A and B are shown apart, each in its own frame.
Chain A
Amino acid sequence: MRKWCLVLLTTLPVLFSLVACGGPPSSNPATSRLDTVKSRGKLICGVSGELPGFSFVSSDGKYAGLDVDVCRAIASAIFDNPDAVEFRNLNAKERFTAVQTGEVDILSRNTSWTLSRDTSVGLEFAPVMFYDGQAIMVKKDSDIKSLADLKGKAICTQTGTTNEQNLGDQMRKLGIPYKPVVFEDINTTFATYAEGRCQGVTSDRSQLLSRRATLPQPQNHIILDAVLSKEPLAPAVANGDSKWFDVVKWSIYTLINAEELGINSKNIAQFANSKDPEVTRFLGKEGNLGEGLGLSNDFAVRIIKNVGNYGEIYDRYLGPKTPFNLPRGQNNLWTKGGLQYSPPFR
Chain B
Amino acid sequence: MSNNQQSNHPKSNIWRDVRFWRFAGQFLAVFIAAIVVAILWGNLNRNLQQLGIQPGFSFLNSQAAFDIGETLISYAPSDTYSRALLVGFVNSLRVMVAGIILTTIVGITAGIARLSDNWLVRKLALVYVEIFRNTPLLLQLLFWYFAVFLTLPKVENPISLLGFIRLSQNGLELPWIQFSPEFSTLLIGITLYTGAFIAEIVRGGIQSVSRGQWEAAASLGLKPGLAMRLVIFPQALRVIIPPLTSQYLNLAKNSSLAVAIGYPDIYLVASTTFNQTGRAVEVMLLIMTIYLTISLIISLVMNLFNKSVQLKER
Contacts and interface: CB of A to CB of B under 8 A. Distances in A.
Contacts of A180: 67-69
B262 A120 contact: no
Nearest to A23: B42
Interface of A: 1, 4-5, 8, 12, 15-16, 19-20, 23-24, 26, 30, 92-93, 96-97, 100-101, 116-117, 119-122, 154, 156, 159-160, 164-165, 167-169, 171-172, 179-185, 188, 191-192, 195-197, 238-240
A2 B59 CA distance: 45
Given A168-B65, A195-B151, A122 B51 contact: yes
A171 B264 CA distance: 19
Nearest to A30: B50
Interface string B95-134: 0000000000000000000000000000000000000000
Contacts of A117: 278
A272 B95 CA distance: 68
Most chain A CB atoms below 10 A, which of B38, B53, B77, B262: B262
Given A120-B59, A197-B169, A239-B51, A192 B67 contact: no
Which 5 residue pairs spanning A and B have beta carbons closest together? A121-B278, A160-B275, A122-B51, A195-B150, A168-B67
A23 B51 contact: no
B34 interface: yes
Contacts of B11: none
Given A16-B38, A23-B43, 13 more contacts: A19-B34, A24-B46, A26-B45, A93-B271, A100-B47, A100-B53, A116-B276, A122-B52, A159-B271, A168-B67, A180-B68, A180-B69, A196-B169
Contacts of A179: 69
Interface string B265-281: 00010011011111110
Contacts of B52: 119, 122, 239-240
A287 B35 CA distance: 52
Interface stretch (B18-26, B234-242, B288-296): B18-26
Given A4-B14, A97-B280, A100-B280, A19 B68 contact: no
Interface string B35-64: 100110111011111111100000100000
Given A122-B278, A196-B154, A239-B51, A164 B67 contact: yes
B265 to A, nearest CB: 11
B200 interface: no
A147 B39 CA distance: 53
A48 B53 CA distance: 25
Contact of B46 (A23, A100, A191): A23
Most chain A CB atoms below 10 A, which of B19, B48, B259: B259
A100 B278 contact: yes
Nearest to A160: B275
B258 to A, nearest CB: 10
